[in-house]
Amino acid sequence: MLEGLRVLACGARDAVKLCATLLERAGAAVDFAATDSMDYDVIVISSDVDDVADWKASGTHIVCDITATGPQDSRAGQPFTDAQVQAMSGLMDTTGFAHGAPACIGIALTEISAALYAASAIASAVRVKRRRGIAQNIDVTLMGCAASALTTFLPAAFARRTAGRVGNRHPACAPWNAYRTRDGWILICTSTEEQWRKLRQEARVPQLDDARFATLADRVRQADALDALMETWTTTLSTGDCTRICERIGVAAGPIVGIGELHREPNFRMRHPEAARAIEADGIGADTYRRVSVFAMSALSEAVAVLKPETRESIDAAPLAGVKVIEIGQYTTAPLVGKHLAALGAQVVKIEPPEGEVARSWAPGQGGTSYFFALNNTDKETIALDLKQEDDRAYLRTLLEDADVLVENLRPGALAKLGFTRETLGAINPRLVYCSISGFGIASAYPSRPAFDTVIQAMGGLMDLTRSEGAPVKIGASGADILGGQAALFAIVARLASSTRDAGAFIEISMQDVAAWCALFAAGKAESRGQALACLDGHIWTEGDVSDAQRARCITQPKAVAARLMEHAVPVMRVDELLEDGDFLADILSAARDANGVFWPVLKLPYRLTKTPARVRAVPGAPRAVRRAPPAPAPAPVPEDRPA
């Protein structure tokens, strides 16, 4: 992949260290201190924290600068911490229980996200340099990464609504929460009417058949009553029994796993036995996370690849110009990958079921399409296929014949059951890069268990590290989904940047692996200090010492004033307030059009390449139905010979 790449990482931010770790995992040689004897291809810095040399002016290196805010932000150059960025971006206000204060996410989410996006942007720039000889600079901002994680909360803001904290719920789906069991807690997550029907039938609680729960929108509005009725069922069962029932009927569910017990979690122990033994013997240290990889790569099949003829690209073409991607995904993970591959210049063809992806219908939106879907699916061609039908599977095979990448987040084995095994894909296209994203991985202790973001957060250690009033709570944003998608994006782009790519590849992403990698990195660091203080109109986040007098004064002041009066303090922004914030409007929010010329609010990318920029341009319309030739008419019957 990135073998032969020489990287210098000389920034103090966690994002710099983690980005270097990812590049190293992909084959690059990394130094953390400059040497006279080595000439570097890539240099990763954090100029708002460190006094670093002006590498950007050299013109000979790929230089990636990871900072808190962008150059158009009025606060540019200030060395904000991850927690301060969480507060200023709205992320913190989405995390915690509705009745409590905003909760700081227990991992450095914006630093980790910046590391993953920076690694993908660097791999893109490496591809450009290897193919066209162009070196360029890259800017990555923590604020941009934070905003990119708000796709489940920004739609309400676009509709001029306030999206408050939902604890362990989902703002657009129900039932979706942590429920008490006979011996603990279980996360149960539903997103479709079929899942709700099966769960209702299994629970056998008559009130769940009420008309007030008839539609998804009804269930979201009646979430308090719905959750109370759900617990009349779950409290009769053990956590294990409830989990097994949900697995049997295809509903995502799982227990909350403590970070100190992660090495005993069956799937983690199966997939990472060396890491589990090390934690059991020595506990979690600063480098324990390095024993867990965020992706696995192997040969697609034994078929011999025939290289695709290279097309001549213009000097300023996007990094992935000429790359064709097939996406079979829904919700967040695979769509996030496809969105960024499209922004980087790839032709992305998204396969949807005939009725369209479920997330299209989530409120709010416009013209029959949700803002959520629009945010996650920009710049794609969309095609409707029923993959249960042979004609539609044949059409997909045709699409795959000249594709470079296939990315999907179906349940493990689902694509194979449709006839698209790794061996079959290798026979169709031996040079294909096939990326499978799933909750627990292909080789798993839970081969038939579905998984959603909240379940993975619970079973990957993230919820245990994130606490609201002492209780474990999920990251408000879909942290496990987003981080899993980012890991897949990096692995795919790194493979496309390989200078020796002569065969297909299979990339496996387990969202639990990625969550555990993040949780172990956080657990191996010293805890950061800070607290949210109540103000007249919300909260501020401070990392300084706070006296009782200061705490009392905060309550009488608006948060903008209180933040100015206290050292190391910033306001905790609500997501809807971002749309009135000049910095957010200037540096993060953008607009795209659909095929009818209608404008949609979208987000700028959190990474900026100076010479071959990635761009967000368009929102797709309804999926296009594939036109097929009508069946040939049946031959006319031959008259029978009859006696005269």
Query: Which are the catalytic amino acids?
Result: 481
Contact by Cβ (8 Å): 489, 405: no
- Per-residue tokens: 74: 């009025």
Sheet holding 347-352, edge to edge: 296-299, 505-510, 433-438, 405-408, 324-328, 347-352, 381-384, 624-625
- Per-residue tokens: 230: 């759900």
In the block, residue with structure tokens 């299979």: 506
Beta strand residue intervals within 559-626, DSSP E:
569-572, 589-593, 599-603, 607-609, 624-625
Residue 119's alpha-carbon distances to 18, 420, 607, in angstroms, are 9, 30, 10
Length of the chain, in residues: 644
How far is Cα of residue 211 from the mean position of the Cα atoms in its chain? 35
First to last CA, the chain: 81
User: Packing angle between helix 511-523 and helix 109-132, nearest 10 degrees?
Assistant: 120
User: Packing angle between helix 333-343 and helix 479-496, nearest 10 degrees?
Assistant: 40
| CB-neighbour burial class of residue 134 (10 A; exposed 0-12, middle 13-18, buried 19+) | middle
Question: What residue type is assigned to position 84 of the chain?
Answer: Q
- Per-residue tokens: 392: 């539609």
Distance CA 367, CA 161 (A): 18
Distance CA 106, CA 151 (A): 20
Distance CA 70, CA 49 (A): 14
- Per-residue tokens: 469: 């009033």
Which letter does DSSP use for residue 362 in this model? P
Distance CA 197, CA 204 (A): 11
- Per-residue tokens: 480: 């496990």
Three-state SS string over 138-191 comes to: EEEEHHHHHHHCCCCCHHHHHCCCCCCCCCCCCCCCCCEEEEECCCCEEEEECC
Contact by Cβ (8 Å): 493, 528: no
Neighbours of 1 (CB within 10 A): 23
Distance CA 367, CA 531 (A): 42
Question: What residue type is assigned to position 626 of the chain?
Answer: V
| CB-neighbour burial class of residue 561 (10 A; exposed 0-12, middle 13-18, buried 19+) | middle
Pairing of strands 6-9, 42-45: parallel
- What is the rounded (10 degree) CA torsion for 114, 115, 118, 124? -130
Question: What residue type is assigned to position 511 of the chain?
Answer: M
